[in-house]
Amino acid sequence: MTAATHSTLFPQVPDSADAVLEGLDPEQREVATALHGPVCVLAGAGTGKTRAITHRIAYGVRAGILHPSSVLAVTFTNRAAGEMRGRLRQLGAGGVQARTFHSAALRQLQYFWPKAIGGSLPRLVDRKLQLVADAAAACRIRLDRGELRDVTAEIEWSKVTQTVPADYAPAAAKAGRESPRDPAEIAQLYAAYEDVKRERSVIDFEDVLLLTVAVLQDRHDIAEQIRAQYQHFVVDEYQDVSPLQQRLLELWLGERDSLCVVGDASQTIYSFTGATPDHLLDFRTRHPGATVVKLVRDYRSTPQVVHLANGLLAQARGRAADHRLELVSQRAAGPEPVYAEYTDEPAEAEGAARRIREFIDSGVPASEIAVLFRTNAQSETYEQALADAGVPYQLRGAERFFDRPEVRKAGIALRGAARFGGNDSLLDDVVDLPSQVRAVLSGEGWTTQPPAGSGAVRERWESLAALVNLAQDFAAATPGATLADLVAELDERANAQHAPTVQGVTLASLHSAKGLEWDVVFLVGVAEGMMPITYAKTDEQIEEERRLLYVGVTRAREHLHVSWALSRSPGGRPSRRPSRFLDGLRPGSTATTGRTSAGGAGGIERGIPGTRGSAPKRAQRVPARCRVCGRTLTDPGEMKLMRCDGCPSDMNEGLYERLREWRADQARSSGQPAFCVFTDRTLMAIAESAPDDERELARIPGVGMRKLTRYGADVLAICAGQSLAESADQD
């Protein structure tokens, strides 16, 4: 290891307090040196908030103002706490406690329980589902696994908002929550759940906070002992604090004001868990003399990405919007965001996969690329498209589509129905494949209308609906297909996704992408009904959806692609429209709010002819150009050929005919239509380019990874003028 490499991996500890401040910008330095009294840091995305607060703690320790053991830094994830501890050690401030709320509270509760209550702390359960199931059984209420998860989420929300069972119904109504079951039933289950815990002498994670609060409120001697230990508090992601966490923080502080909070109201996206930005926004009201510092210098994203992010918030409404931060990029100019409209969702996924393939081929590591979507149910289409394009991927924050319990169970049901065939009474009088699938999956919880709310039941329904949609698409592409054919297709798709994908493109929901960043980000499905999601009804819910899109935009360092589809499936009615959040921001659109628009920068990429709206300036990013005349191509058929229909073809007619004969043989032997092997356009594209190897063949639109694996050797042999027998002999 060279000296330079060693210094990069193991930075030298600053030799003085003043050295800790080196490299900070003026606002970060102001945060680092504000060590007395309450401090509120309003930090936008990518502005270096973690750097600012860790240097603040380190400066205080190195200057002798703060003792390491007297500082408690609190954040929301173990990953963030670990990162903070690592940075503090590198700055010479080892010994500072950096923990999550739950970790800090549990440590205190374990230490003081014998003194406050007597005996040992009850056992902490890490999963509530079985307890909730037992509570439901005691109430004679039957819950399936999805409903168990949803009821559990309601119990957790109630506890972090300090709502007792008797008050659940009015509290949920006031908060605008859509209960997964009758509110009276939820309250009954909540009360029974608490009874089960008491009978078994166990506690859950919310109890850790509740019991710590109770001990500190009832035992002033213990509260004073903790306050003597911790003199200074730092709270990161303060916009995500729940009422219960805020109460615990107040008890830790007592009458003191040695507190520094850091947050951004525009990144509040977890209100469904009880988080609220009110504590951040009310900080100056509770602490009139507080020092307030705004961090707006964005070191993460290019000016083009920041411009779009600012534009999204400029159209926002509500209290959080009134306190938005106008970011100022500190990076060099980069490419404009690209907006792409597609005919349908599979075309959108294929378009994203194609562009991702181009990025990887140009040298961008796959790990620096992300595809972000609103719901986990959207992942399957992109998993398949990336697999077909030979692009490795990893799914973050959710199970792979075919690994989800409801999908596995549905697969078993479909396989059983296919095996019994006409002997299954469920399928009596059901002729076409999509209807058969709907009949089978109705027994697994699929309904024609989605359930209300946004919990596990909705997620499970979305997964089953994806299978129903897949069956419709498969039947349309393969006339005469049977249920057994569909099961084989599902098995093939599942197997294609089990390849190693450790260093791959990240597939993630917008919620699970919080706190992460990539060089290239694809925001997909940005259409009405998905962004904002259909069940976002109130103004507050709509604005949280806007903030969720803002979080997605600010994950991108340099390249940002925003796309939507006009219909769900090929041939569907093009009834969708781009998200209202893009009005006035994407080229050719106008703002739908009275606020000033942030402008219309960005390039348009058209996945279909006749994209609505026209760009105010020449598109900077396009899918393809005609290799003969150079005209921009927008028609999918022309894009396959890489030339206009009217431009002369250099196709090898003999090769084309040999390919057609081979395709006919393949179709007959497999019992499927010829176009399911390769379409005419794809054969024409192959005959025009006459690829020499698999890499060249894979670049031709319509030749996915599965078809390359299945047919590639034959096609390349035909292109080389060999007979298939000769090719087999050479192998």
- pLDDT greater than 70 at residue 47: yes
Provide the pLDDT for residue 608: 42
Q: Give tens-digit pLDDT for 360-399.
A: 999 999 889 999 999 888 888 898 888 788 787 877 765 5
- pLDDT greater than 50 at residue 491: yes
N-terminal to C-terminal alpha carbon distance within the chain: 45
DSSP string, 191-229: HHHHHHHHHHTEE-HHHHHHHHHHHHHH-HHHHHHHHHH
Q: What is the mean pLDDT of residues 170-185?
A: 85
Q: How far apart are CA 53 and CA 30, in angstroms?
A: 10
> Considering only CA atoms, which of 436, 465, 435, 437 is closest in space to residue 449?
465
Q: How far apart are CA 98 and CA 249, in angstroms?
A: 14
- Angle (CA) 551-557-563 rounded to 5° is 60
Provide the pLDDT for residue 373: 94
Q: What is the mean pLDDT of residues 16-33?
A: 89
Provide the pLDDT for residue 423: 42
Provide the pLDDT for residue 609: 35
Task: Tell me the pLDDT band of 4, cut-offs 50, 70 and 90.
Answer: very low
Provide the pLDDT for residue 658: 87
Q: Cα separations (Å) of 618 from 303, 401, 603, 605, 624?
A: 19, 39, 8, 11, 15
- pLDDT greater than 80 at residue 546: yes
Indicate the angle between helix axes 405-420 and 456-477, nearest 10 degrees.
Answer: 40
Q: Give tens-digit pLDDT for 668-705.
A: 877 666 767 887 778 888 888 888 888 888 878 778 77
Provide the pLDDT for residue 406: 82
Q: What is the mean pLDDT of residues 702-723?
A: 83
Provide the pLDDT for residue 602: 54
Lowest mean pLDDT of 75-79, 201-205, 291-295, 640-644, name the range.
640-644
Arithmetic mean of pLDDT over the chain: 82
Provide the pLDDT for residue 654: 81
**What's CA 185's distance to the chain center, in Å?**
32
Q: Cα separations (Å) of 286 from 39, 257, 281, 283?
A: 12, 10, 10, 5
| Cβ within 8 Å of residue 209, ≥6 positions away | 101, 102, 105, 160, 244, 245, 248
Give the residue, 121 or 594, on which the prediction is more confident: 121
* Beta bridge partner(s), residue 561: 338, 522
Provide the pLDDT for residue 527: 93
With beta carbons less than 8 A apart as the criterion, state whether 146 and 445 touch: yes
- pLDDT greater than 50 at residue 497: no
Q: How far apart are CA 449 and CA 472, in angstroms?
A: 17
Provide the pLDDT for residue 10: 44
Task: Tell me the pLDDT band of 499, cut-offs 50, 70 and 90.
Answer: very low
The helix (run of H) or strand (run of E) holding residue 518 is strand 518-523
Query: What are the DSSP E strand ranges found in 61-160?
Result: 71-75, 97-100, 123-124
Provide the pLDDT for residue 646: 62
Provide the pLDDT for residue 224: 93
CA dihedral over 270, 271, 272, 274, signed as positive or negative: positive
- pLDDT greater than 80 at residue 262: yes
Provide the pLDDT for residue 683: 84
- pLDDT greater than 90 at residue 43: yes
Looking at the chain, the whole-number percentage of residues with pLDDT higher than 70 is: 83
Task: Tell me the pLDDT band of 424, cut-offs 50, 70 and 90.
Answer: very low
Lowest mean pLDDT of 232-236, 343-347, 478-482, name the range.
478-482
The tokens describing 210, both together, are: 């509740």
Q: What is the mean pLDDT of residues 467-474?
A: 81
Q: Give tens-digit pLDDT for 187-203.
A: 999 999 999 999 999 99
CA dihedral over 56, 58, 63, 67, signed as positive or negative: positive
Q: What is the mean pLDDT of residues 643-670?
A: 78
> Considering only CA atoms, which of 369, 376, 417, 713 is closest in space to residue 521?
369
Q: How far apart are CA 59 and CA 37, in angstroms?
A: 16
Q: Cα separations (Å) of 254 from 259, 441, 640?
A: 11, 56, 69
Task: Tell me the pLDDT band of 623, cut-offs 50, 70 and 90.
Answer: very low
The helix (run of H) or strand (run of E) holding residue 706 is helix 705-719
Q: What is the mean pLDDT of residues 56-67?
A: 90
Q: Which amino acid is at 136?
A: A
Q: Cα separations (Å) of 27 from 50, 84, 167, 598, 656?
A: 13, 20, 45, 25, 66
Looking at the chain, the whole-number percentage of residues with pLDDT higher than 90 is: 35
Provide the pLDDT for residue 105: 92
Q: How far apart are CA 93 and CA 473, in angstroms?
A: 59
Provide the pLDDT for residue 719: 87
Give the residue, 384 or 347, on which the prediction is more confident: 347
Q: Cα separations (Å) of 572 from 342, 433, 533, 588?
A: 12, 18, 20, 24
Q: Give tens-digit pLDDT for 263-287.
A: 998 898 888 778 888 899 999 899 9
Provide the pLDDT for residue 458: 64
Task: Tell me the pLDDT band of 415, cut-offs 50, 70 and 90.
Answer: confident
Give the residue, 369 or 722, on which the prediction is more confident: 369
Task: Tell me the pLDDT band of 617, cut-offs 50, 70 and 90.
Answer: very low
- pLDDT greater than 50 at residue 593: no
Q: Is 417 exposed, middle or buried (0-12, 13-18, 19+ CB in 10 A)?
A: buried
Q: What is the mean pLDDT of residues 13-24?
A: 83
Q: For 95, which DSSP code? A: T
pTM summary value: 0.68
Task: Tell me the pLDDT band of 452, cut-offs 50, 70 and 90.
Answer: low
- pLDDT greater than 70 at residue 85: yes
